[in-house]
Amino acid sequence: MQELTVHLSTFVFPIKPYDENPRYDLDRESPSLVKSYISSRHGITYPDMRWEPKESFKTVADYYAKH
Domain extent for 43: 1-67
Written as one string, the DSSP assignment of 1-62 is -PPP-----BS--TTS---SSGGG-GGGG--BSEEE-SSS---SSSTTSSEEE-HHHHHHHH
The residue ranking higher by pLDDT, 23 or 2, is: 23
pLDDT, tens digit, for every residue of 13-44? 888 999 989 999 999 888 899 999 887 788 99
Q: Specify the number of domains making up the chain.
A: 1
Question: What confidence score (pLDDT) does residue 7 get?
Answer: 65
Question: What confidence score (pLDDT) does residue 26 get?
Answer: 92
